Amino acid sequence: MTETTTLPNLTDYDLKIKNQMERMVNTYDKYMKRITFGRENKLRKTTCELAQIKKGDNVLEIGCATGSLTIEAKRYAGNEGKVAAIDIIPGMIEVCKEKVKNENLNIDFQLGSIDNIPFPDGLFDVVMCSFMIFHMSDTVRNKGLEEIYRVLKPNGRILVLDVVLPQKRFSRKLLKLFLGFTLKHELNELLPKLESTGFKKAKIELVKFKFLGLPLISFLCSFK
């Protein structure tokens, strides 16, 4: 049975992105394998290490797609930690649940939107957003950062991972060829909203994971 949920404040742009992602449900894992040249597992482990996930942590992934990063996060958090994930695409949540159906992994996959996170205040040590923070309107993203702040524990941390906007024309064309879209944003655009929301000690650095032979992925980490 397909789940339903209320997705408030979605603009025409948000609905366009949602429709695009719905068409990728059955091909998303193949897409990630292709663009990482078969090294997705390494990238997911690197992301968990950057998020400093440890045994017993409560972790939320927003925009989990088919759940590969969420599953890796559960391995880092262990049985002692609560790991949950949300996505606005029902088909993605169904794939996630199917992946862990026969594994001893207790993960709470739910249909939900970043601007209306279905969890109580102060529950999570870590919230992760991987390759999704700019796939939404400014309105939804700004509300989403406020929601992330709400569900984090005191001193909890947000980790955002995304592709760097290349300066060289050749690199931009190469990325568009492999990703299928043109990059338009950089992580430093998030800093004013993070600061006004109350986040502290924000830093942005390159990830030690080469994409197309180049260091083209960066991460942002900040604390409540």
Q: Domain holding 171: CATH number?
A: 3.40.50.150
Beta bridge partners of 127: 60, 158
In the DSSP assignment, the letter for residue 113 is: B
The yes-or-no verdict on residue 5 having pLDDT over 70 is: no
Whether residue 6 lies inside any domain: the answer is: no
The yes-or-no verdict on residue 217 having pLDDT over 80 is: yes
Percent of the chain exceeding pLDDT 70 equals 85
Whether residue 5 lies inside any domain: the answer is: no
The average pLDDT across 158-178 equals 72
For residue 72, what are the contacts with CB-CB under 8 A and spacing of at least 6? 41, 44, 45, 47, 48
What pLDDT, on the 0 to 100 scale, is given for residue 74? 98
pLDDT band at 220 (very low <50, low <70, confident <90, very high): very high
Residue position matching structure tokens 């939320």: 60
The yes-or-no verdict on residue 213 having pLDDT over 70 is: no
What pLDDT, on the 0 to 100 scale, is given for residue 49? 97
The yes-or-no verdict on residue 1 having pLDDT over 60 is: no
Question: What's the mean per-residue pLDDT of the chain?
Answer: 88
Whether residue 3 lies inside any domain: the answer is: no
The average pLDDT across 96-120 equals 93
What pLDDT, on the 0 to 100 scale, is given for residue 9? 64
Q: Which domain holds residue 101?
A: 12-223
Whether residue 4 lies inside any domain: the answer is: no
22 phi and psi angles, rounded to 5 deg? -60, -35
Token readout for 137 is 């309107």
Whether residue 194 lies inside any domain: the answer is: yes
Q: Pick 142 or 12 by higher pLDDT.
A: 142
The average pLDDT across 40-67 equals 97
Tally the domains of the chain: 1
pLDDT band at 65 (very low <50, low <70, confident <90, very high): very high
In the DSSP assignment, the letter for residue 187 is: G
The average pLDDT across 158-182 equals 69
Whether residue 7 lies inside any domain: the answer is: no
State in Å, rounded, how far the first CA of the chain is from the last one: 37
